[in-house]
Amino acid sequence: MGVGKSTVGRRLAKRLSLPFIDSDSAIEDAAGGASAAEVFERYGEDDYRDGERRLVARLIDGQCRVIATGGGAFIDPDTRALLKLHAITVWLDAPVDVLAERTGRRDTRPLLRNGNRAETLAKLDAERRSTYAEADIHVRSGVGVHGEVVESIIAALRARFVA
């Protein structure tokens, strides 16, 4: 959360001349305008992740595009398997203090509403890091500009496909 998946995804899609889809926005469309956070709170994490997995399955079936998934999507083993089979996955990795500052700008993340934001993010980082490490590409992010992150992804894609 707060690593810049949507912003970086949009910029990457533009650079690659591909369509961009934000899975949270697609969930909101499917939920009749309810925010992804509202859907999460209303149905709980298990049902949310199930719907997210079905959505990802539809998004990766067909046209080449850049997809920004929610931070928890890759944690779900079935969603991760789908993505690993049909997509090139990218882990945007930023320090917890940067994530805490960014996510503090808006109160739209259900997992961060209770307790200390930085502690919750550190706990999630510790729990998820080994799973995120399964991504095809690992790009470090931080206080720099998003354009630098996009360039790092493009360089990693070139190295993967040109080498």
The CATH number that applies at residue 93 is 3.40.50.300
Q: How many residues does the chain have?
A: 163
Enumerate residues 6+ apart whose C-beta is below 8 A from 11.
146, 147, 150
Look up the domain containing 131 and give its range. 5-162
Low-confidence residues of the chain: pLDDT under 70: 1, 102-115, 117, 143-144, 163
SS3 helix, strand, coil % of the chain, rounded to 5? 60, 10, 30
In this prediction, residue 107 carries a pLDDT of: 59
> What is the model's pTM?
0.84
d(C-alpha 67, C-alpha 59), whole Å: 8
Mean pLDDT, rounded, of the chain: 86
Instruction: State the total domains in the chain.
Output: 1
